[in-house]
Amino acid sequence: MAHDTAHTDVIPEQGHLEHKDYMDSHDGPAWGGGKRPFKASYGKLMMWYFLLSDAFTFAGFLIAYGAIRFSMPTWPVPDHVFSAFPGGFHGWPLIFVTVMTFVLILSSVTMVRAVQEGHRRNKRGVMFWMALTIIGGAAFLGCQAWEWNTMINEEGVTVTKNPFSTHLQGGTYLTGAEIEGAGFEKVMTETHGKTATYYLEPGAEDIEENRLFVKQNHQKEVLAGESFKEEDPYLITYNHDTHLYEPSAFKTPDGSIHKEAFGPIAFGSLFFFITGFHGFHVFSGVVFLLIILINVASGLYHNRSNNYEMVEKIGLYWHFVDLVWVFVFLVFYLL
């Protein structure tokens, strides 16, 4: 009987069709039932539902990020964390990520143009605008690679260490003499062929948690003696010579000596995972755009005579990637 039922998918005769545009569809006999659900092709509708499921995935990540951030008494200040710019510039809050956002918006615009040219069946136009879209996507990935590299290799953020945090009280960074004056012992150790200088409480074990450093930034400028206010952001310096983080000593107005604490651990893993997952979407998008561009060039979609619907589908995906970035940009960089 199974053999018979395979033939029940009878194509209705043309006279029975309700919609004139039915014959434009290349999904066979309108999904087999004679009518196109939601007047959309199967492929396009399923792309929408795939994007909906992807939105749930991203929302899950953003919920994790938001819930953890809300549950913390402090959080790294984005304007301080994201303030580097290619060419060795520092202290330019949010400028680089704004450039990244523009790149993605531009590539979204070129994608819309590619779809429009597809509706006119202009093969050269589709190819031109798709090529620009691919360049935009690749440029975005390049920007992200630079951003990650700066954070990991220069500033020392990893999935388990977050040197960015915020002062909970005002104070002043101490010089070496002041730390020794407060009864700490100066220790000098050879590590990675360089000398690390730090201070320990007398009798305290020489482990990472007990070491106090004199504040200096990544350019090796000593900042001891500088004051800061409550809620000022700070970065625990990662010394590239000694491969050590240098949590520095400071004195609060009540005279007690404290050490810079690491920021919320989850920051690094959330940032790298969520922007990485988005970057992976961009990367997959670039790969699919390339494949479809090659197919466009071969004339495959032209011969299908469905107004380059494949370009429209990858366009939906590409805009979704831009859409996710709107929210990643909002929660990681703006707020």
Residues 21-50 within binding reach of another protein (CB under 8 A): 38-40, 45, 48-49
Tell me if 330 sits within 8 A of 283, measured CB to CB: no
Position 96 contacts another protein (CB under 8 A): no
State both tokens at 264. Answer: 């919320």
Site string for another protein, 292-321 (x = CB under 8 A): -----------------------xx--xx-
Tell me if 83 sits within 8 A of 98, measured CB to CB: no
* Measured CA distances, 308 to 46, 55, 112, 118, 184 (Å): 17, 25, 13, 5, 73
Position 66 contacts another protein (CB under 8 A): yes
For another protein, give the closer residue by CB, 54 or 185: 54
Position 172 contacts another protein (CB under 8 A): no
Rounded (5°) CA angle 328-235-71: 50
State both tokens at 118. Answer: 């597809």
Position 131 contacts another protein (CB under 8 A): no
For another protein (CB under 8 A), the number of binding residues is 50
Rg of the Cα atoms in the chain: 29
CB of residue 59 to another protein, shortest distance in Å: 4
The DSSP bridge partners found for residue 172 are 227, 251
Applying CB under 8 A, among 2, 8, 14, 56 the residue interacting with another protein is 56
- CA–chain centroid gap for 97, Å, is 10
User: Where on the chain is the footprint of another protein (CB under 8 A)?
Assistant: 38-40, 45, 48-49, 51-52, 55-56, 59, 62-63, 66-73, 79, 93-94, 98, 101-102, 105-106, 108-109, 111-113, 116, 119-120, 315-316, 319-320, 322-323, 326-327, 329-330, 333-335
